[in-house]
Amino acid sequence: MSRFSLEGQEYRSAFMLYSADGKRVADVLEFRNGETFLDEREWLEGTTFRNRHAGNLVGPFASPEDARNFIVATSWFRGDDG
């Protein structure tokens, strides 16, 4: 968990990762404070992508590469979690 609130903190999107079927996306966010987080979203049929964790980010990670390695290894991102 982050040591302090990210509210109002500046960040940039380092890159976005899409699952092979295009139904899941993870935006890798680098915050000015040096922390990296994931914004995980999934497709809702007939609508749009929605945040998987009710608006909460996943992390922190030491780097964008660490965040990428984490998300691509999850069963959720691979689409085999049920």
Q: If you average pLDDT over every residue of the chain, what do you get?
A: 90
- The answer to whether residue 2 sits within a structural domain is no
**CB distance 36 to 64 below 8 Å:** yes
CA dist 2 to 34, 47, 55, 79, Å? 11, 31, 15, 28
Give pLDDT, residue 82. Answer: 54
Sequence letter at residue 44: L
Q: With bands split at pLDDT 50, 70 and 90, how would you rate the model's confidence at 67?
A: very high
Region 41-64 average pLDDT:
90
Give pLDDT, residue 4. Answer: 63
**With 80 as the cut, is the pLDDT of residue 48 above it?**
yes
- The answer to whether residue 17 sits within a structural domain is yes
Total domains in the fold of the chain: 1
Region 20-35 average pLDDT:
94
Region 5-19 average pLDDT:
90
Q: Pick from 23, 35, 32: which is nearest to 67 by CA?
A: 35
- The answer to whether residue 15 sits within a structural domain is yes
Region 52-75 average pLDDT:
94
- The answer to whether residue 47 sits within a structural domain is yes
Domain that holds residue 45: 11-78
Token couple for 2? 């982050």
